[in-house]
Amino acid sequence: MSRFAIRDATLGDARGIARVHTESWQVSYRGILPDTVLDKIDVGQRLASRERILTAKSGLHLVAYDVTHGDIVGFCDAGASREPLYAGEVYAIYFAHHAKRYGLGTEMFERVRDWLPTRGMRSMIVWVLANNPHARRFYEALGGRVGHTKQTHVGGFPVVEQAYVWDRV
Cα distance between the two ends of the chain:
30
Residue 1 pLDDT greater than 80, yes or no: no
d(CA 98, CA 111): 22
Query: CB–CB of 49/167 below 8 Å?
Result: no
* Residue 2, pLDDT score: 86
* pLDDT tens-digit map of 106-157: 999 999 999 999 999 999 999 999 999 999 999 999 999 999 999 999 999 9
Question: Mean pLDDT in the chain?
Answer: 96
Q: What is the pLDDT of residues 27-39, one digit of tens each?
A: 999 999 999 999 9
Neighbours of 17 (CB within 10 A): 27
SS3 168: coil
Which DSSP helix (H) or strand (E) runs through 166? Answer: strand 157-166
- Domains in the chain, CATH or no CATH each: 4-123 (3.40.630.30)
CA atoms within 13 A of residue 157's CA, in its CB half-sphere: 14
User: Which residue in 87, 147, 90, 89 sits closest to 123, CA to CA?
Assistant: 87
Look up the pTM and report it.
0.96
